[in-house]
Structure 1
Amino acid sequence: MHWLIYLGIVLITFLIMEGVTWLTHRYVMHGFLWYLHEDHHKKGPGFFEKNDWFFVIFAVPSIGMILWGTLDPSMWWIQAIGFGVMLYGFAYFMVHEIIIHQRFKLFTRSNNIYIRAIRWAHKMHHKHLDKEDGESFGMLLVHQKYWAKVKKDRENTRNKKG
């Protein structure tokens, strides 16, 4: 039974992280830490961006919580939260860096409707080059208007072929 509670905490933390990410992206990255995030919207030379520091910013508390829960077994639930944050960080890396921005050329083409919707939503986010007037600050949850756009495009493509 203990492992079910542990797993539940990991999964709930993972889900909560989408909200934390949205809030952080909207009010911190597009707010007082814009100087770290700006080069993500205005790409400069080189592979690395100042924006990559956000991986460290989120990784440090995650590692700290995992370590704390490991060193003090009575704080096992803190460890579970740390693993939930880590799991979200992994998902974020896969979606944002590999699928959307293709910084690592592993998945360059996909007709999967979910992948196309998140890529479209992120493209709409990046059409804004400054910190104001942004949209689509989340990562894994996609607003219905982006799903509708992708479905409409897919339908139009089918009609042209048929």
Structure 2
Amino acid sequence: MTDSWIVLVLVALGVFLLMEIVAWAAHKYIMHGWGWGWHESHHEPHDDLFEKNDLYAVVFAIFAIGLFAVGTLADLPLVTAVATGITLYGLFYFIVHDGLVHQRWPFRHIPHKGYAKRLVQAHRLHHAVKGREGCVSFGFLYAPPVEDLTDQLRRSGRVRQEQDERRPAN
């Protein structure tokens, strides 16, 4: 049963989806908590190719590589499927978060509609707060509605004044 390719694909896809919850929790409670020392570099302007925050990707990659090794050496296809789901999430994170949202690639694309635009806007609202406290939108591939995030920031009183001044009136 666990060698069935359908089961293994479903496990990998399930882990991929579960990784958004894991990433949300890690972002909110680790990166904006005791792990702020690495993540702070992501919230500061810089022109370097890499930032200290990229070490989180290295940690997740080492974990996935370890699972691939265990799954392969111990002939445990389910473990390999879990590693595949984690790796796919990392690939999507790299494409969407680093590429589309933060424009860390040599080519630029700014989405003007739909899901991609909402994702970019939500992440910009995440960065609208200076420092680690009071941020919103901790997911990487899911973004709550921008209006909800804006209201949440307003209620917190932590949004930068210039952010309010730049946003067009409805």
Residue 3 of structure 1 is matched in structure 2 by: 5
- Structure 1 runs of 4+ off > 3 angstroms? 145-149
CA contact (8 A) 2:71 2:80 kept: yes
CA distance in 1, matches of 2:148, 2:68: 36
Moved more, 61-70 or 39-48: 39-48
CA distance in 1, matches of 2:30, 2:149: 29
CA contact (8 A) 2:71 2:78 kept: yes
CA distance in 1, matches of 2:147, 2:27: 19
CA distance in 1, matches of 2:93, 2:148: 19
Per-residue Cα deviation, 1:132-162 (whole angstroms, up to 9, x for no partner): 111000011111245999xxxxxxxxxxxxx
Q: Does 1:116 align with 2:103?
A: no
CA distance in 2, matches of 1:59, 1:15: 17
Kindly, what percent of the aligned residue pairs are identical?
36
Give how far 1:45 is off: 4.2
3-state SS of paired residue (1:131): coil
Q: Does 1:65 align with 2:67?
A: yes
Residue 36 of structure 1 is matched in structure 2 by: 38
**So what's the TM-score if we normalise by structure 2?**
0.82
CA contact (8 A) 2:101 2:119 kept: yes
CA distance in 1, matches of 2:85, 2:127: 28
Which amino acid is the alignment partner of residue 116 of structure 1?
K
Per-residue Cα deviation, 1:88-138 (whole angstroms, up to 9, x for no partner): 000000011110001103342333411100000000001112111110000
Matches within 5 A, 1:1-162: 2-73=4-75, 75-146=76-147
CA contact (8 A) 1:36 1:50 kept: yes
Which amino acid is the alignment partner of residue 56 of structure 2?
F
CA distance in 2, matches of 1:98, 1:131: 23
**Gap runs ≥5 in structure 2:** 151-170
Query: What is the alpha-carbon root mean square deviation over aligned residues?
Result: 1.8
CA contact (8 A) 1:117 1:146 kept: no
3-state SS of paired residue (2:106): coil
Which amino acid is the alignment partner of residue 68 of structure 2?
I
Which amino acid is the alignment partner of residue 118 of structure 1?
L
CA distance in 2, matches of 1:110, 1:23: 27
Structure with higher helix content: 1
CA distance in 2, matches of 1:147, 1:139: 17
